[in-house]
Structure 1
Amino acid sequence: MIFTGKGRERFLDAVAGFETAVRERDGERAQRLLQAMYGRFDRAEEHELVAAGPRLAALLPDMPEGPRALTAVAVGACVERGADPTLCDLYVFQGLAGALASAGEFCERWEATGGGDLPDPDAGDPEPAVLERAGQDAVLGWWLLPRWEMASVAMLNRPAVRTALEPALRTGLLDAVRVVQEASGHDFKCLHYSLLVLDDEPLLALHRPTGTGYLLRMTGIGDTFQLHTLLADVLIGGGHVSGRAPSPQEAAVCRNAPGQVPTTGTFNLVTPGGEWVWNEGTPTDIPVVDGVRVLVLDPPPYERGWPAGRFFPGMAGDLVLERVLGADETRQWLGRCAPPK
């Protein structure tokens, strides 16, 4: 998130004025000060943003929907610049849940009144005909959902938020995202994938050509492209199996270095049942067997390249080797695995 502007006043002055306007329910003044905050953001000092994030988040429950979503984006931007996300995330996720529910209702009403292409929230304010067709609250949910997605992903970039997220809340948000995606055909991929990120998650990798096995642990990995590169770094770069190891830069951009660099796939990722695990998915596609996710590594059937890096540039990821399995243990696991389909 980037805010630009030429205001020279202190960022926290605008925040304090905005807080007062919201509590006094002075909508016109609040809107003016919200724009002032946006305009001063690029000049704000780190300590101001650290202080502002929780203060702005605490205002969210008492705000009307439009300014509420814009303020949530500002909260996310403060978190990206150092504010404590654990003091902000609950208010943001509450807003996200409401927006998802309203967006789902919008999709239902749209289909019930004739269907057709859904209006684009990025194309400007909703037309009167859209408001009449679906109702203001439902339309606002659809229109503002991309902003709630932006704010929520900023929260979920932080491991402290992901690990503290109540399972019931995570499941509820994921279910609501899927409902909206299926009803609208719109891909809220960043929100969906961020809610699927695993932390401190065991992964059992079985290298079928050599009959060797490895227990690893993954954290903050946004998609399977990233996991694939890190598997090659740990197993080939670590000297456990042969093949092309990623360069240090290829591995670094998949952990916490900025940018992307070209890489080439080393394995074919397969489930114990023989189905391919596609790089385009997430590590949650790897099935759990006896309490651990199990992945079989086969030779690649063809050469495939992609930009090594992180699906979420603001999310640090890692994959570490915990132990090498013994030969008998590996043989038992591989004996339970089907050939690739």
Structure 2
Amino acid sequence: MIFKRKQQSPDLAAVVSELEQAVSARDGARTERAFGAVMNGLRSADETACVSAGPRLAALVPAFPPTGPRAMLATAAGFCVERGADPAACAEPILDGVRRDLLDALEFARRWTAAGDGAGELPEPDENIIDEALKARLGGEAHEALRLALAWCSVEQWQAPALAVLCRSASVRRQHAETLIPVCRDLAALERHDLKCLAYALAVLDDEPLVVLHRPTGTGFTIRIGGIGDNFQLHTLLAHVLIGGGHLPGTAPSAESVRLATDPSPARGRSGVVATGAFELFAADGQRIWNEGLPDDIPVVQGRRLLVLDEPAYRRSWNADRFFPMLPGTAELSSVLSAEEANAWFALTSPSTE
């Protein structure tokens, strides 16, 4: 939940209208007052009010100045999505804002490094670093330098509204992930921002065919997956489909761990339920696929993601709660491969490197 609820706040529809008018009039003081009233109004608004307000608030994001509280406005729209507003109707302005700030943060890093005055590594993303010396180091027009510095310092604030729309709509993920993943990963690689949640949400696979080979039995399967936040969740669902479905030997995951992975209702808090590993996961080239990673880490071989399951080297377990509480995972058996088909896929694999 982005905001905690509080009683006795103004009517949300009215204060959103006031904010729209203030933004349209380009009245800074009026906009600031209206924005505060909106943030206050959200705390007591019911679901019906949030459903209506979400797209209206999202539509205002591009009109806010880059040096203003755009991320907080996007967060307000994201809160409305959490309360039932249409994620697809709110997604484009929110995710366009995410992309702009990611690019601006990368440009900040480029200019900081290019200055080359021996000031050392990239600074921490803290607004206390913004002063006249920093603006001079970045060069260019002062307002632009301020925009880049603010993006560097506040880009993590976009994660909450981004997750609100990405985790509630496969169509939103399909439409925006391709353009956002490269810039998100480029900025994360600089190791100054924690963008793990955003990166994971963008990498979620939907309606994705997966070839799964079980080395101990020489059998193979095609499984269609979607909405899976990490490989812990994938591991549980593979064991559920293949062991629980009677296709492989072993101990199937508990009904509760499967429910936690697949329940359409958002998860509420930590469950304490433990899932136990049934396999070791490997890529076709023998490299390990880590449970801490993503289904997107599984390489594509001849047009299909190819995953090899082997006997676990030792017993391992983990908390069964899914990475994204609001995003249920799916894994459905499409087919059991014939011996000939399985052997053809096995021929494309190498022994594990461990």
TM-score bracket relative to the smaller structure: over 0.9
Structure 2 counterpart of 1:216: 223
Q: Distance in 2 between matches of 1:207 and 1:74?
A: 47
Structure 1 counterpart of 2:142: none
Question: Out of 90, 95, 98, which is 2:97 matched to?
Answer: 95
TM-score (norm 1): 0.92
Whether contact under 8 Å (2:280, 2:313) holds in the other structure is yes
Question: Which amino acid in structure 2 is aligned with residue 103 of structure 1?
Answer: A
| Residue 233 (structure 1) aligned with residue 240 (structure 2) | yes
Q: CA deviation at 1:130?
A: 4.2
Question: Any residues of structure 2 matched to 1:285-300 within 5 Å, and which?
Answer: 285-300=297-312
| Residue 327 (structure 1) aligned with residue 327 (structure 2) | no
Question: Which amino acid in structure 2 is aligned with residue 277 of structure 1?
Answer: I
Q: CA deviation at 1:160?
A: 3.8
Question: Out of 243, 253, 264, which is 2:250 matched to?
Answer: 243
- Please provide the CA RMSD for this pair: 1.9
Q: Distance in 2 between matches of 1:226 and 1:141?
A: 33
| Residue 311 (structure 1) aligned with residue 323 (structure 2) | yes
Q: Distance in 2 between matches of 1:284 and 1:127?
A: 37
Question: Matched residue of 1:88: which SS?
Answer: helix
TM-score (norm 2): 0.89
Question: Which amino acid in structure 1 is aligned with residue 151 of structure 2?
Answer: G
Q: Distance in 2 between matches of 1:162 and 1:39?
A: 28
Question: Any residues of structure 2 matched to 1:108-123 within 5 Å, and which?
Answer: 108-113=110-115, 114-116=119-121, 118-121=123-126
Question: Out of 91, 95, 109, which is 1:107 matched to?
Answer: 109
Uncovered stretches (5+) of structure 2, i.e. residues with no partner:
139-144
Structure 2 counterpart of 1:74: 76
Q: Distance in 2 between matches of 1:214 and 1:162?
A: 29
Question: Any residues of structure 2 matched to 1:163-312 within 5 Å, and which?
Answer: 164-165=174-175, 169-256=176-263, 258=267, 259-260=270-271, 261-312=273-324
Question: Matched residue of 1:263: which SS?
Answer: strand
Q: CA deviation at 1:23?
A: 1.0
Q: CA deviation at 1:226?
A: 0.9
Uncovered stretches (5+) of structure 1, i.e. residues with no partner:
none
| Residue 47 (structure 1) aligned with residue 48 (structure 2) | yes
Q: Distance in 2 between matches of 1:131 and 1:181?
A: 23
Question: Which amino acid in structure 2 is aligned with residue 115 of structure 1?
Answer: G
Q: Distance in 2 between matches of 1:74 and 1:63?
A: 13
Structure 1 pair 180–56 and aligned structure 2 pair: CA distance change class (3 A): same
CA deviation map 1:148-182 (0-9, x unaligned)? 222112111023433540xxx53332111122122
